[in-house]
């Protein structure tokens, strides 16, 4: 049987802008993935516990409030701490160019800003998810 890519789409932090997260979730579903959506206002602990239980291959974080430097890195660190460092983590939102290197260093492998096409995200996931 074909192995399905499982993705957790999570919205950490307080902003309620879920249009992007939901559009991405639907697009990933349409690309044949199993997508678990957490809803709004997730703490790092909630995201990581969910990722563990759902045994996901990918975590997609969406945040538009500008709190990404704190919250994305919190999650990346907690994942490593729990031995989940091999999960592919990507992030989207309003992320200034200058923050990107530090986010990548912390373990967020893909950063997608406004205007990213769904295809680009899908391709990135398919190419980078571990086999």
Partner 1 sequence: MKDLAQRVMKGDPRAIARMITLAENASPEARECMKVLHSRSGNAHVIGITGVMGAGKSTLISELAREYRKRGKRVGIIAIDPTSPFSGGALLGDRIRMMELATDPDIFIRSMGTRGMLGGLTGAVYDVVEILDASGKDIVIVETVGVGQAEVDVIKIADTTLVVLVPGLGDSIQSIKAGIMEIADVYAVNKADRPGFERTMAEIESLVELIADRGEERTPIIPVIAKEGKGIPELADTIDAHRKKMEGTKEFTLHRRRRYEAELVEIIRKRLMKMIFDEDVFRDRVEDLIDMIMRKKKDPYSAADEILSQVLK
Partner 2 sequence: MFDRKALKELEKRRKEWENSNYIPLKERNPEIREEFENLSWTRIAPLYTPMDIGDKDYLKDISFPGEYPYLRGIHSTMYRGKIWTMRQFAGFGTAEETNERYKYLLAHGETGLSVAFDYPTLYGYDTDHPLARGEFGKCGVAISSLRDMEILFKDIPVDRITTSMTINGPAPVVWAFYIANADNQGIPRTKLGGTIQNDVLKEYIAQKSFIFPPAPSMRLTVDTFEFGYKEVPRWNTISISGYHIREAGSTAVQELAFTLADGFAYVKAAMERGLEIDRFAPRLSFFFNAHNDFFEEIAKYRAARRIWARGMKELGAKKPRSLFMRFHTQTAGVSLTAQQPEINIVRVAIQALAAVLGGTQSLHTNSMDEALALPSEKAVRIALRTQQIIAEETGVTSTVDPLGGSYYLEWLTDRMEEEAMRYFDRIEQFGGVIPAIEKGFFQREIAEASYRFQRELEEGKRTMVGVNKYVMEENLDIPLLEMDRKGEEIQLNRLKKLRAERDQTKADRALERLRRAAEGDENTMPYILDCVHAYNTLGETCGVLREVFGEYKEPLIF
Binding site for partner 1 (CB under 8 A): 1-4, 6, 25-26, 28-39, 42-43, 45-46, 49-50, 52-55, 82-84
Residue with smaller CB distance to partner 1, 2 or 97: 2
DSSP conformation class of 108: -
> What sign has the CA pseudo-torsion 130, 77, 114, 54?
positive
One of 23, 55, 85, 102 touching partner 2 (CB under 8 A): 23
Compute the least distance from the CB of residue 131 to partner 2, in Å: 27
66: left (phi over 0), alpha (psi -120 to 50) or beta: left
DSSP conformation class of 42: B
Residue with smaller CB distance to partner 2, 2 or 100: 100
Applying the rule CB under 8 A, the residues between 41 and 100 that interact with partner 2 are: 41, 43, 65-71, 74, 94, 96-98
Instruction: Give φ, ψ of 25 to 5 degrees.
Output: -55, -45
């Amino acid at each position: 049987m074909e192995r399905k890519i499982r993705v957790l789409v999570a919205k950490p932090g307080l902003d309620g802008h879920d249009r992007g997260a939901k559009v991405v979730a639907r697009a990933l579903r349409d690309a044949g993935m199993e997508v678990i959506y957490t809803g709004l206002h997730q703490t790092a602990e909630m995201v990581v516990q969910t990722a563990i239980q759902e045994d996901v291959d990918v975590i997609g974080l969406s945040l538009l409030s500008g709190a990404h430097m704190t919250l994305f890195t919190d999650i990346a660190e907690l994942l490593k701490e729990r031995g989940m460092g091999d999960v592919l983590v990507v992030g989207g939102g309003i992320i200034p160019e200058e923050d990107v290197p530090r986010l990548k260093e912390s373990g967020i492998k893909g950063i997608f800003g406004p205007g990213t096409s769904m295809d680009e995200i899908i391709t990135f996931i398919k190419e980078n998810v571990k086999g």
